């Protein structure tokens, strides 16, 4: 009888686990199936370029859906996240987040440098043995940094939703110098050549490139949130609007996640069919091992250790809670497009306070990229090794600083790290052109570093929540006192008797019992 009861209970447990985690399980299964399908189609069919692209169509649809929700999600979460806290508390939380972002990025860079100088993946090879691919991105350090600041202040909010500013340099026609050509013609030619070199100049031509200007939108929303948070009663209607928008967007995310296994199956299969040079992976094996082991050490040892020191909870349970977001990042190589899933995992599975996630995750997805920073440090020193170029201590320090800056400047989109790599290379006098040596394997490394970027953001949210515990509790207390006020606006009880509070006399608290309770994502 008892044995039967035990069996039944265990059966129910397994069923419950499967039911709660079916999206995650289906996604992992689709990764495996997708790889299998890709290999089969590659080996047994010969698809034309056009057919290959059609094959990837279901995956393309998934990417479009995820990108679709980024904008409403970032806008609504940043505004409500900031407005939920008073400006002093937001400032303190922001400061903690920035300190976390910077310190983990520096740890990642140092780890990368230690590994690449110990393993020396480029010493036994030379640039001639590696085929180049793609072209060198046209990037200059000063312009990239200035563009970062320019993009923080978009001149048109609507345009910021789909375009960002990008400086282009245009060469100015050298001015003709008036020289006497009658007396000494050969001498004159030399003078005019020198004059032309001296007068060679560039001008900045402003242009826009496609893609959401996430940074500009974040800056605007933070300021807007602070302002309407201070407006009290009159700002309430806007807050209610954005809070409802946030909830609705999160429900859309849940629907998109149901389609995720199919999309991912075709995304990975199409990628495997598309890549035709697998030999390069053998040649670049040691370099890839260096990057991947760095990412592994950072995500399995350093980040969990920092989390444990501050939060005193099992970091691996936390990582498991983020599993869906990590698999998504691995499959789509974009931390911005993964953001909707990161939100769900952090709030639903790891129970991080929405006031923290709404603030820390979008900013993290834009500027906190540990994986990218580590990769940039390893790749630039690898290129130096390939060129037999000895780096002194000063140059290594320069690499650490520029790799950190380059990771902040990189957007959360596929291959962004490769573009900002040029900054690191030019800073230490390495040929920018050598980026083309590592392009062929970048699609694979990009996936792993994006996964670590997302994990770093999630741990950041967990740590900042713990460090801000007292402030959050104090705000809760104030709104509880206000809730007793007959003029309090809204206190409802949902089916599960979970209290949900909204804006109370201009003070805004976010319901901590999640409004979207029908989630079936992983619940470890
Ligand atoms: N793909 C990365 C991300 O979205 C950025 C990079 O290229 O390193 O986080």
Q: How far is the CA of 435 from the centre of ligand 1 (A)?
A: 16
**DSSP symbols for 411-426:** -SSTTHHHHHHHHHHH
Residue 453, ligand 1, Cβ within 6 A: yes
Residue with the smallest CA separation from ligand 1 atom 1 is: 414
The pLDDT assigned to 279 comes to 78
Contact 201, 172 (CB under 8 A): yes
The pLDDT assigned to 170 comes to 79
> What's the CA gap between 12 and 10, in Å, rounded?
5
Atom from ligand 1 closest to the CA of residue 414:
1
Residues of the chain with pLDDT under 70: 1-4, 174-200, 479-524
The pLDDT assigned to 241 comes to 94
DSSP 8-state symbol, 434: G
Q: How far is the CA of 472 from the centre of ligand 1 (A)?
A: 32
Residue 284, ligand 1, Cβ within 6 A: no
pLDDT tens digit string along 487-499?
Answer: 333 333 333 433 3
Atom from ligand 1 closest to the CA of residue 372:
8
Q: What is the pTM of this model?
A: 0.82
pLDDT tens digit string along 277-289?
Answer: 777 888 889 999 9
* Tokens encoding 343: 């939100």
Q: How far is the CA of 462 from the centre of ligand 1 (A)?
A: 22
Residue 447, ligand 1, Cβ within 6 A: no
| Neighbouring residues of 188: CB distance < 8 A, sequence distance ≥ 6 | 179, 180, 181
The pLDDT assigned to 409 comes to 85
Residue with the smallest CA separation from ligand 1 atom 6 is: 417
The pLDDT assigned to 4 comes to 62
Closest Cα to residue 298, out of 401, 370, 396, 377?
370
- Which residues, in sequence order, are bridge partners of residue 491? 501
* Tokens encoding 476: 């809760």
> What's the CA gap between 460 and 335, in Å, rounded?
15
The pLDDT assigned to 460 comes to 97
User: Token match 């959050």: residue?
Assistant: 472
Residue 415, ligand 1, Cβ within 6 A: yes
* Tokens encoding 104: 């983990």
> What's the CA gap between 503 and 332, in Å, rounded?
37
**Strand 507-508, strand 503-504: pairing:** antiparallel
Residue 364, ligand 1, Cβ within 6 A: no
Atom from ligand 1 closest to the CA of residue 411:
5
Could you give the 3-state DSSP secondary structure of residue 209? strand
The pLDDT assigned to 518 comes to 24
Residue 449, ligand 1, Cβ within 6 A: yes
Tell me the torsion sign for CA atoms 21, 25, 30, 31: positive
Q: CB 180: neighbour CB atoms within 10 A?
A: 10
Tell me the torsion sign for CA atoms 70, 75, 81, 82: positive
Q: How far is the CA of 332 from the centre of ligand 1 (A)?
A: 10
């Amino acid at each position: 009888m008892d044995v039967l009861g035990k069996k039944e209970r265990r059966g129910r447990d397994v069923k419950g686990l499967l039911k709660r985690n079916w999206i995650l399980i289906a996604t992992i299964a689709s990764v495996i199936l997708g790889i299998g399908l890709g290999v089969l189609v590659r080996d047994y069919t010969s698809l034309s370029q056009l057919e290959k692209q059609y094959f990837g169509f279901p995956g393309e649809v998934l990417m479009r859906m995820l990108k679709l929700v980024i904008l409403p999600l970032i806008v609504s979460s940043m505004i409500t996240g900031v407005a939920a806290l008073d400006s002093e508390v937001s400032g303190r939380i922001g400061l903690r987040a920035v300190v976390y972002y910077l310190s983990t990025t520096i740890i990642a860079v140092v780890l990368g440098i230690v590994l690449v100088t110990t393993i020396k993946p480029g010493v036994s090879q030379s640039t001639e043995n590696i085929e180049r691919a793609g072209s060198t991105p046209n990037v200059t350090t000063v312009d990239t940094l200035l563009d970062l600041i320019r993009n923080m202040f978009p001149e048109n909010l609507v345009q910021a939703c789909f375009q960002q500013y990008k400086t282009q340099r245009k060469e100015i026609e050298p001015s003709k110098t008036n020289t006497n050509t009658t007396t000494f013609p050969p001498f004159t030619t030399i003078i005019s050549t020198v004059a032309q070199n001296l007068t060679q100049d560039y001008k900045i031509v402003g242009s826009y490139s496609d893609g959401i200007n996430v940074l500009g939108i974040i800056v605007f929303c933070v300021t807007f949130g602070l302002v309407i948070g201070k407006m009290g009663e009159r700002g309430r209607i806007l807050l209610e609007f954005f809070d409802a928008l946030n909830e609705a967007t999160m429900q859309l995310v849940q629907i998109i996640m149901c389609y995720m296994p199919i999309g991912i199956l075709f995304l990975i299969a199409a990628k495997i069919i598309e890549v035709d040079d697998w030999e390069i992976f053998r040649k670049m094996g040691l370099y890839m091992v260096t990057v991947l082991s760095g990412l592994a050490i950072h995500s399995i040892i350093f980040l969990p250790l920092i989390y444990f020191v501050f939060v005193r909870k099992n970091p691996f349970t936390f990582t498991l809670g983020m599993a869906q977001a990590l698999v998504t990042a691995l499959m789509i190589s974009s931390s911005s497009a993964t953001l909707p899933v990161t939100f769900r995992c952090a709030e639903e599975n790891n129970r991080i306070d929405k006031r923290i996630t709404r603030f820390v995750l979008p900013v993290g997805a834009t500027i906190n990229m540990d994986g990218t920073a580590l990769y940039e440090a390893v790749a630039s020193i690898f290129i130096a090794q390939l060129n037999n170029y000895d780096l002194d201590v000063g140059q290594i320090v320069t690499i650490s600083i520029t790799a950190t800056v380059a990771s902040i400047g990189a957007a959360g989109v596929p291959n962004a790290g490769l573009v900002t790599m040029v900054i690191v290379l030019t800073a230490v006098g390495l040929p920018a052109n050598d980026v083309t040596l590592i392009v062929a394997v970048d699609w694979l490394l990009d996936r792993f570093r994006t996964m670590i970027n997302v994990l770093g953001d999630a741990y950041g949210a967990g740590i900042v929540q713990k460090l801000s515990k007292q402030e959050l509790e104090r705000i809760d207390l104030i709104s509880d006192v206000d809730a007793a006020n007959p003029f309090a606006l809204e206190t409802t009880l949902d089916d599960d008797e979970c209290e949900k509070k909204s804006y109370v006399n201009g003070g805004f608290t976010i319901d901590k019992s999640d409004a979207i309770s029908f989630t079936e994502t992983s619940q470890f």
